[in-house]
Structure 1
Amino acid sequence: MKFHKLRAGEVPGTYVMESPVTEADILHMARQLARKRLAKGRPLTDPQSVFAHLQTLLQDYPHEVFALLLLDTRHRVIGFHELFRGTLDGASVYPREVVKLTLEHNAAAVILVHNHPSGDPEPSNADRHLTFKLKEALNLVSVRILDHIVVGTDGCVSLAELGYL
Structure 2
Amino acid sequence: MTHRKLTAGEIAGTYHVTAPVTEAELMGIAQGFAKRKLARGRKLTQPALVFEYLQVLFQGYEHEVFSVLFLDTQHRVIRFETLFRGTIDSASVYPREVVKRALAHNAGAVVLVHNHPSGDPAPSDADRRITQRLKEALGLMEIRVIDHIVVGSEGCTSFAERGYL
* TM-score band w.r.t. shorter chain: over 0.9
TM-score by length of 2: 0.98
Aligned partners of 1:59 and 1:116 also within 8 Å? no
In 1, distance between residues paired with 2:3 and 2:43?
27
Q: CA RMSD in A?
A: 0.9
Q: After TM superposition, where is structure 1 displaced by more than 2 Å over at least 4 residues in a row?
A: none
Q: How many residues align?
A: 164
**Which residue of structure 1 lines up, in the alignment, with residue 156 of structure 2?**
156
Aligned partners of 1:60 and 1:153 also within 8 Å? no
Q: What stretches of structure 2 of length at least 5 have no aligned partner?
A: none
Once the two structures are aligned, what percentage of the paired residues are identical? Answer: 62
Q: Aligned-pair distance for 1:160?
A: 1.0
Q: Aligned-pair distance for 1:60?
A: 2.2
In 2, distance between residues paired with 1:137 and 1:3?
42
Q: Aligned-pair distance for 1:127?
A: 0.3
> Equivalences for 1:1-150 in 2 at 5 Å?
3-150=3-150
- Post-superposition Cα deviations, 1:46-84, rounded to whole Å, max 9, x if no partner, equal 000001001110122000000000100100000100110
- Post-superposition Cα deviations, 1:78-136, rounded to whole Å, max 9, x if no partner, equal 01001100000000000010000000000000000000000000000000000000001
TM-score by length of 1: 0.98
Q: What stretches of structure 1 of length at least 5 have no aligned partner?
A: none
Q: 1:162 is aligned with what amino acid?
A: R
Q: Aligned-pair distance for 1:163?
A: 1.1
Q: 2:102 is aligned with what amino acid?
A: T
